[in-house]
Structure formats: C-alpha cells, structure tokens
C-alpha cells in the first residue's frame, strides 16, 4: 500500500536512517543484545548524521521541525533492518524526551542541554514508573522537598529505558500531597550525589535497550533543573502522552511490515513437499490476513500522525492507535513466526527477536486495559443523552 503521507524529504531521511542501521548497527546488533546495552558512541555517530534531536531549534543544533513523520520513518527503517532495540532507544530520546526539553526549558536550560542532546553526547531518559506506580501516574511517591535553592529528592524509579546510558533523566517527583497539582518535573543529571543506577534489568526482549532501576537518596537537585513550573508536572505528562503512545504505535506498525517482508522472502525460498511453502493455501491465507491487517493499521496510524502534526490528536485517538497497533502486531507476528517453523524459535532469525520484542508494546506507555479505559471514558457511557442526541438517535 502506497504511503501517501511521506514526501521526498521524509524518504531521503529514511534512506539515511536505513544506511546507518545497515552499516553501523546491524553488524554489531547481536553482540549488543548479548551485552544488554548499546555503546554510547552509537548515539554520537547518529547525532553527527542528524538522526537525533532534529526537532530541536536550529540555534541548538536541530533543524527545528516537529514533523512526526521523520520520527516515524526513522523507527520503521530500524525495524526493517531487524535492529528495533536501537531504533526504539533513539525514539525514547527523540520522541518522548525532546518535547519536554524543547518546550518546557528556559533559554539557559536549552543552552545547557540541547546541543549535547542533538549531538548524542547527552543521552536522555524519562523517569515516571515506580515500583508502586505504573499506568496511574498520580500514584507517584518519589518526593522532592523544597530546601530553598534546591530540592531534596528521595525515592526510586523502575523500568527506565536508557537508564544506564542516560545523562539526563526527566523525573516526575512529588512536591506536595495534592494528587495532580503535587507533581513536578526535575532533570536529574549524571553525577549528582545520591543518584544511583541499579542493575540493568534482565528483560524478556529488547535486550540491547538498557532498562534500569534508579534510586535517589537525599539528592540535592538545584532549582535550575525544574522543567516548567512547580506543580505542573502531571499536566505536562498528560500533554505529551499522546506522542509517546504514537511512538509505540508507529513502532508496532514498522515491526508488522518488517515481519511480513521477512516472511514473504522466507516462504518463497523454503520448500516442503517439493515446492515453496508459499505455494500452500494455508501460507497464502495466513499472509493475506497479515497484509490486510497491515494495510488497515497503516492507514489509521498514518492518519493519526498527521493529526498529531496538526495538533488535533486527542487522548482517545492516541489510545486507539496504541491499542490497535500493538494488539494487531501481536497477532501478525505470531502468524508470521508460525510460518518459519522451528527456525522462528531461533534468536538468530530477526522474526524470533521481533516476536519477543513485541510483547512489551501491549504494556508500556499504558497497558491495553488502560487504553480501553481511556477510549471507553471518551464514549461517556455513564451519562444520559441530551435531548438533541436523543432526537438524532
């Protein structure tokens, strides 16, 4: 299905990403998966090519475009190369962290952080999830006590992507008991006394994407590290969650497309009973279903990306995008992996790694159950229709 929402500029950027993934990442990917982390110089190499922080203002090294189609095509090209873990680490940096650092920072903060961010010298992460607070962000308990010229931070975060590599961690902390107005965003910088990284977590998939526990023990964070206004953290996170969920959705879409391409190639080459297994009706029917689900998902997600660019994407629509793409991804990758037979269970095959990596997409960024809750609330099923609505019905 033709991608009508990409221009020649997007496609050229995609080729740059594809070339980098093929030459600088793919040859080393299995070693990085085994090591459980991406070398830091991969970020600086990507930054030098313009693959990081491109939405940052030009005076800080970016190109000043917030067009999410560039973010989308970058992730797709890394999925095509079977290097999703690296592409998604870049996506956390570009898609999730940059809006906070570009939109909420003062001029002084921009000068401190953005040039290094764009160049890949300062790797970013976001610290929301805690051992006792996941999808419900209002349950965050990490505390920040006002001490005049600084906040004293105590608490812990978990499941933090880029957690080992990160130099800047955008951290949600509680500055007052108020459930929503009590949250503030602080940037925790590498080297602050009392800021410690725990183990690099042993995940089911996405092994090279380092994911960590972080602890804060009497960490003195200068007030110059507050993002936005004290007490506005919850509102800022809610505003940026739509783009975070779109980042997950476009990753799921990219993985479906890559899986279909790998499977089509495999079934043309693999023979059984004297002919390619692609000639079997079961294979044709299975892949016909995958191709159809891919086309439907692509049309929906591409439209949501345009809505995001125009500032019209609602929280419910973003939830639909994540729910649909991640659940469809799970079905499609299972169907593709089945056609590989025993080889589909071998991690040396990209389809095996992709199927394992895909499992988390129905959990992070808000579980599928939370997405259904957001969509269901938007339907307003718990109220009586107005007279106008009743007449129209």
DSSP 108: H
- Candidates 33, 76, 130, 244; catalytic one: 244
Most distant CA pair in the chain: distance in Å? Answer: 78
Of 210, 219, 257, 240, the closest CA to residue 78 belongs to: 257
User: Half-sphere exposure of 321 toward its Cβ, with a 13 Å CA cutoff?
Assistant: 30
Tell me which H or E stretch contains 211: strand 211-222
Residue 307 host element (H or E): helix 281-309
Residue 10 burial class via C-beta count within 10 angstroms: exposed 0-12, middle 13-18, buried 19 and up: middle
Q: Could you give the C-alpha distances from 296 to 72, 302, 382, in angstroms and in order?
A: 17, 10, 30
Cα torsion angle, 379, 323, 77, 59, sign:
positive
Q: Is 202 exposed, middle or buried (0-12, 13-18, 19+ CB in 10 A)?
A: exposed
- Unique residue bearing structure tokens 């491109």: 54
Tally DSSP H helices, then E strands, for the chain.
13, 10
Give me 89's structure tokens.
């680490």
Nearest alpha-carbon partner for 268 in 283, 251, 257, 282: 283
- Told to judge if 244 belongs to the known catalytic residues of this protein, a careful annotator would answer yes
Q: Which residue has the tokens 């990442």?
A: 25
Q: How far, in Å, CA of 297 to CA of 229, rounded?
A: 38
Distance CA 119, CA 48 (A): 6
How far is 129 from 223, CA to CA, in rounded Å? 22
Task: List alpha helices for 126-232, DSSP H.
Answer: none
Q: How far apart are CA 105 and CA 236, in angstroms?
A: 12
Pairing of strands 124-127, 168-174: parallel
Give the closest residue to 57 by CA, choosing from 8, 105, 19.
105
Report, as residue numbers or ranges, the catalytic residues. 244
């Amino acid at each position: 299905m033709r991608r009508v929402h990409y221009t020649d500029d997007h496609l050229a950027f995609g080729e740059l990403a594809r070339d980098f993934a093929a030459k600088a990442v793919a040859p080393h990917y299995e070693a990085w998966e085994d090591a459980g982390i991406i070398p830091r110089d991969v970020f600086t190499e990507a930054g030098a090519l313009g693959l990081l922080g491109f939405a940052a203002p030009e005076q800080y090294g970016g190109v000043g475009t917030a067009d999410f189609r560039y973010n989308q095509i970058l992730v797709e090209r890394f999925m095509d190369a079977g290097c999703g873990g690296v592409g998604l680490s870049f996506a956390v940096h570009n898609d999730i962290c940059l809006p906070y650092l570009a939109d909420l920072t003062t001029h002084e903060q921009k000068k401190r952080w953005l040039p290094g961010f764009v160049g890949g010298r300062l790797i970013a992460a976001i610290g929301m999830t805690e051992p006792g607070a996941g999808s419900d962000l209002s349950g965050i308990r990490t505390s920040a006590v006002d001490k005049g010229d600084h906040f004293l931070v105590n608490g812990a975060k978990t499941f933090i992507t880029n957690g080992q590599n990160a130099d800047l961690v955008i951290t949600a902390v509680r500055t007052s008991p108020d459930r929503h107005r009590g949250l503030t965003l602080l940037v925790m910088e590498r080297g602050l006394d009392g800021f410690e990284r725990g183990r690099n977590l042993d995940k089911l998939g996405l092994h090279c994407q380092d994911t960590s526990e972080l602890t804060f023990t009497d960490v003195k964070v200068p007030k110059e590290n507050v993002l936005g206004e004290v007490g506005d953290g919850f509102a800022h996170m809610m505003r940026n969650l739509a783009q975070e969920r779109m980042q997950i959705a476009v990753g799921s879409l990219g993985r479906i497309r890559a899986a279909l391409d790998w499977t089509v190639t495999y079934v043309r080459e693999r023979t059984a009973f004297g002919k390619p297994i692609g000639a079997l009706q079961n294979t044709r029917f299975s892949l016909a279903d995958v191709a159809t689900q891919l086309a439907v998902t692509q049309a929906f997600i591409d439209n949501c990306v345009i809505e995001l660019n125009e500032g019209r994407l609602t929280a419910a629509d973003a939830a639909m995008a994540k729910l649909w793409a991640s659940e469809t991804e799970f079905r499609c990758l299972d169907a593709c992996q089945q056609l590989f037979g025993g080889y589909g269970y071998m991690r040396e095959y990209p389809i095996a790694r992709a199927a394992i990596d895909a499992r988390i997409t129905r959990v992070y960024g808000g579980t599928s159950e939370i997405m259904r809750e957001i969509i269901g609330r938007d339907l307003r099923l718990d109220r009586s229709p107005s007279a106008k609505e009743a007449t129209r019905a």
